[in-house]
Structures are given as structure tokens and as C-alpha cells.
Amino acid sequence: MDLSNNPQAQRWLAVGLLALVVLLVVLVLIVPIISKGLELHENKENLAFTLKKYEQILAGKEAIVGNIAAIKQQHEDQKYFNTQGTSALASAQMQEFIKQAIVQAGGQLSSTQVLPPTNKDKFSRITVSVRMTGSIEVLRAVLYKLETAAPLIVIEQLDIRPMRSVRNRITRQIEPSNGLNINFQAISFMRAQSS
């Protein structure tokens, strides 16, 4: 088939070639531009969604900061920690409180000894070693008073021993004693002093 003599075939061939060139231009230039535009549109949608999430988070920031402040205030109001300026003042306050608790319960304080404070993390542990005598009722009253105190006092190493019985000089009989020798450590906590 000779196309040089057939003008209609030449036109169809020209139209076909033009269509092929237009199709190639569309495939080479326009399709990548459209796909890049769709990709950018999707990225824009993702970024807009992320921005909206962050705006919601920021909108809730004030409520969260308020809640943190309320929790801190509640923590302070519970008075778990000793608020004295130094560990020496805190231990002196503890010693006085323990002495008053023992005397009010009807016991006798033999001695108190402040042990060196220990620091762990952001807290100081204030320890007072206590020796006292009294009955089981006195011990119960003292322990209740100490463990319900504010600031918090924890009792450790509780050692209870009966007092020796005494012999009555007149009857020469051994009289039982309900007295107890009691040793324990009272521990309080305070925030470590920044140096």
C-alpha cells in the first residue's frame, strides 16, 4: 500500500501520529504533574489532620496544667513531708512530738537518738531511734498517735520486751509486771535541700 498517492491515508496517518504525539506528551508531562499534584494534596490533608490534632492537644494544655497544679496542691495539703528548713530542725520537731505522744499516753521516755539523715532521689529520710517503757495500752496509743501524725511518721524495727518481774520485799513473792521495754525507729521524710 503506497501512502504517497493516497491523500486520505496520509491524513489518517498524520492524525494517528498527532494522536500518538499528544498521548506521549500527556503520558510524559501531564500524568506525572497530576500524580505529583495528588500526592501533594494527600500530604496536605495529612498535615492538616496532624495540625488539627496538635491544636486539640494545645487546647487541652490549660486544663492539664491546671490539673497538675491541683494535684501538686493536694499533695502539699496532705502534709506527708516535713516542711522544716533543715534535717536538724525536722529531727528536733520529731523528737518533741514523740516525747509528747509518750507522755500523753502515760509512758516513760528513756532516750531518743537522731540518726544521720539519708538522701535518696529528691528526699531526705529523718530517723529517730526511741527507747521507752510502758504497758501494751501505752504502746498502742503511742503507735496510733505517731502513725496518724502529719507529717507522716513511719515506724520501723519495733522491738518489744517484757520488763523484769520484781520480788515483793514484804511477801517475798515475785510480782508479775505488765510493763514493756520498747525500742523502735521513727522515720519522717522531707524534700532534699537544694545545694
Give tens-digit pLDDT for 154-168.
888 888 888 777 777
pTM of the model: 0.56
CA distance 177 to 180: 8
Report residue 183 CA to chain centroid gap.
Answer: 33
Q: How many domains does the chain have?
A: 1
Question: What backbone torsions phi and psi does residue 185 show, to the nearest 5 degrees?
Answer: -115, 130
In a domain? residue 30: no
In a domain? residue 59: no
In a domain? residue 35: no
In a domain? residue 22: no
Q: In the prediction, which pLDDT does 188 show?
A: 86
Dig out the grid coordinates for 100 from the structure: 509528747
Q: Give the model's confidence band at 66: pLDDT under 50 very low, under 70 low, under 90 confident, else very high.
A: confident
SS3 30: helix
In a domain? residue 134: yes
Please list the alpha-helical segments (H only) found in the chain: 7-25, 31-59, 61-77, 87-105, 136-147
Q: In the prediction, which pLDDT does 4 show?
A: 65
Q: Region 8-32: what's the mean pLDDT? A: 83
Q: Is the pLDDT of residue 1 over 60?
A: no
Q: Give the model's confidence band at 173: pLDDT under 50 very low, under 70 low, under 90 confident, else very high.
A: confident
Instruction: DSSP letter for 6, please.
Output: -
Q: Is the pLDDT of residue 143 over 80?
A: yes
Please give the residue range of the domain that contains residue 144.
Answer: 79-191
Is the CB of residue 123 less than 8 Å from the CB of residue 190?
yes
**Angle at alpha carbon of residue 83, lines to 75 and 144, rounded to 5°:** 75
In a domain? residue 39: no
In a domain? residue 130: yes
In a domain? residue 84: yes
Give the CATH number of the domain where residue 102 resides. 3.30.70.60
CA distance 140 to 122: 33
